[in-house]
Amino acid sequence: MGGREVTGRLLAQRKQSLQFTFHPGPSLSNMAVCYACLTLLALGSARVGSADSMADRLPLEPYDRLFSMAVDAYYRDDWQGVILNMERALQNRAALRRAKIHCRAECSHKMKFSIANSSHDLFMDMNYFHTVLRKADCLKVCEGERLGPHSLHHISEEVQLEFHKRTPYNYLQVAYFKIKMLDKAVAAAHTFFMVNPDHLEMRQNLEYYKMMAGVKDADFKDLEAKAHMEAFRQGVRLYTDEQFKHSIRFLENALEEYFKANAECRALCEGPYNFDGYNYMEYNADLYQAITDHYIQVLGCKQNCVTELAIRPDREAPIEDFLPTHLDYLQFAYYNSENYSQAIECTKTYLLFYPNDEVMNQNLQYYQAVLGDELSRHLTHREDIQTYIANSLLEKELLYFANEIFGVTFIDPDKWTPESVIPVKLKAKQKAERETAARISEEIGNLMKEIENLVDEKTKESSEIVKMVKEGGPLLFDSVQVVMNARLLNGTQRVLLDGVITDEECQEMRYLSNAAASLGDGYYGRPSPHTPNERFQGVTVLKALKLSQKGTIPLKTSRLFYDVSEKVRRIIESYFRMETPLHFAYSHLVCRTAVEGMQDKREDLSHSVHVDNCILNSEALECPKQHPAYTERDYSAILYLNHDFEGGNFIFTEIDAKVITAMVNPKCGRVVAFSSGAENPHGVQAVTKGQRCGVALWFTLDPTQKERERIEADDLVNMLFGMEEELQPDEGDVKEPVPTDHRTDHRPSDVPTDHRPSDVPTDHRPSDVPTDHRSSDVPTDHRSSDVPTDHRSSERPAPEPIHKPQDGAEPAGDAAEQETEVKGSMTEGSKVPEHMIKTMEPAPTVPDTKSTAALNIPSTKQEL
């Protein structure tokens, strides 16, 4: 008889001999002994029962061992060995993760904690620890069956970091390239690059792959993409294209996948205790302190899932308010699909996060009025999200308590947490710390200002001379004249030009804008993305050429648009003495029309003050150059087409977005051009009468960020106007690529752990491929395609969807002025009123049949 059979029989006999009936009141120690015996018997029988299944299953091979074997194969040029072992390493790592998630979820479901029906404290403790022991045994058996001995999967931090950086895909792209499997090589390269966007060698490889025969756009896929994030991004793309019904399916799927990913993330938090900050050998906490330490660490990890799930691999910062943002998009998408029941449900659910949100409460009132009291009365929020919020708040209270009592650090990842959750003492302490920090910062700031003033006085004069010399390049055309340079415009890298095009050309361009808009281009005559008091319409160069191709508008008109934009590019490139060529980043002919009857007592701006390539925070006086801003933009320009309107002056301001430093009035043929950085905050004053038209242009010095539409337009011009007008390639374009094996010691040049292949294609990149392969469905304005802009005050920023991205809604700054009015010495009177800086959002139009009452129509939220 085998050992397992003997053990099983003995345990069965012992269970029969220990049967008893519990009566309230007898000796408490007897109860405790009986409970302990039952627990140990249950644990033993569970292990015996699972022993047979373990014997039939081979343990999962550790992925760090497979990774090491793949690296060894790489150095031997054994490409099949690299692929076999590295793919298995990735598969086993995923299997290890799945097994842990499955076992922890299953055991948590089977072994639930309950409160005993007894007044005896010891019995309640025994009940708790009985569940703890059963759950621990369940986990040990479950993971043992699926993974083998626990000691097999102790992975070093170094190897974990390599997988976190997606280093295995760097090896795989080389191996697949060597055996001519280009689709897999491209996918591996793209997957690695998504987490390592600054890896120049991989960028070069991707550009090379794009030029190879047989490589398709579909091959550039992220093999490690998060399902919820991909669904969210696709939903937002459709949303910004105003395909609201289609976007709903993806956004709802994103919510479903989000909660699956959240459950998995939280399950993985229940791992071993991290002794970071402690000496393992000297850690001597007692029972409850040790339980507290570990449990608080687990809670902190679970709260951090909010941040982890909101991070895209190609971005450093998470998407703020990621979960509420789903509901924000959905309520407006359902509204545009005329599904008011779902719009009410999503709006009420959003208000669970921000109950005092003014815009969302207005939307709710409107939806309820349209649907009617009878139908809307019984509609409520989503229960699963209410449960999520309640659970999260309870965890936050425990973590804040631990912070207050034990000094455990907790940084709340959510902006929606009510202040009532934060302990009073902690709020007072935080307030005192903020006041102290502010006082110290103020003192340091004053001291630094004194030093800066001394330095500035000595350097300003020389730097201005250098800039003036750099900015004074030739204008290339006799008709073009400099009206004001940077010094007269009270700034740097600014210029105002007249005579760029003729009156006849202005008229033809205005005809183009109105003809294209009447055919449904741009925003279908809907309110401007920046203010409900104006209407917006526009057309791109490519769209104009396609309309000409169809015979809708004259060929010479679309060609004029193409030629005028190129003329402006050449003038700016020459005037600012560029050492490298400028490339188009985006081009748009736009017109803004004042809405009659809505101009009385108007106090908003046509386009709020902003910066083109960074996120302007006027309160903090800073402008971080990071996503979702279009950081690739280097220079901006506006070519104006008319002056027969009222208002609409272009303004430069200080970084506080209040003090105006220069003002320009538009007129035909006038161009205002400037660098796109924080040195040039700008905006547009309200258009109060008539229509204001101009060509908005952004440029980049990076050939890899060149606008794809412009490349298509170049090809279309070549086809429409004949080979005699064949376009010359930009200086930044590259010639035919030739792959080169440049390995030296078989090691990656920039990874000290020798885990990056280096014999990959060298730099032969085309100039028009951005990192994430943006297509035309991605918003091309100041905002990320994933993140709606903020409609709240600076005290509590939070995003809201817009019913159309600012594709060309006017470059990150209209520019150009007529009869230029410059404010030299600034006074209090020259400040832009506070209410003029923060624009109201456009309200979606509603058919007359539904607008039976005076309502606040749901609005999209304002741009920062």
Could you give the residue numbers annotated as active site?
692
What six digits make up the tokens of 5?
A: 């059979």
- β-sheet bridge partners, residue 592: 536, 692
Place of tokens 């204001």: 692
Angle (deg, nearest 10), helices 322-336 and 383-406: 160
Distance CA(693)–CA(690), nearest Å, equals 10
Angle between helices 322-336 and 287-309 (to 10 degrees): 40
Q: d(Cα 748, Cα 172) in Å, to the nearest integer?
A: 13
- Cβ–Cβ < 8 Å for 612, 783: no
Q: Give residues with Cβ within 8 angstroms of 740, minimum separation 6.
A: 761, 762
Structural tokens at position 30: 């007897």
CA-closest candidate to residue 154, choices 62, 78, 72? 62
CA distance 417 to 337: 31
Angle at 697 between CA 198 and CA 703, to 5 degrees: 30
Q: Do residues 500 and 567 touch, judged by C-beta distance below 8 A? A: yes
Q: How far apart are CA 196 and CA 173, in angstroms?
A: 14
The token duo for 429 is: 């302490």
* Residues whose CB is less than 8 angstroms from the CB of residue 126 and which lie 6 or more positions away in sequence, other chains included: 31, 32, 35, 36
In the chain, the amino acid numbered 474 is P
Dist. CA 740–CA 761, nearest whole Å: 6
Q: Could you tell me which residues come within 8 angstroms of residue 569 by beta carbon, excluding any fewer than 6 positions away?
A: 582, 584, 697, 699
Q: Is 24 strand, coil or helix?
A: coil
Query: Number of helices (H) and strands (E), helices first, in the chain?
Result: 23, 13
- Which whole-number Å values give the CA distances from 811 to 516, 560, 635, in the listed order? 19, 20, 11
Closest CA to 863 of 757, 789, 762, 761: 789
In DSSP notation, 342-355 reads: HHHHHHHHHHHH-T
Q: How many residues does the chain have?
A: 864
Token duo for residue 231: 């669904």
The first and second tokens of residue 824, run together, are 């030299």
Contacts of 548 (CB under 8 A, 6+ apart): 554, 555, 557, 558, 559, 720
In order, the DSSP letters of 701-742 are S-GGG--HHHHHHHHHHHHHH-GGGPPPPPTT----------
For CA atoms 644, 676, 445, 796, the dihedral sign is positive
Taking the C-alpha atoms of residue 335 and residue 314, their distance in angstroms, rounded to an integer, is 32
How does strand 635-640 pair with strand 691-700?
A: antiparallel
CA distance 209 to 140: 47
Tokens of residue 403, six digits? 């912070």
**H helices of 115-243, where?**
121-147, 157-164, 167-178, 182-195, 200-210, 227-240
**Cis-peptide into 554, omega within 30 deg:** no
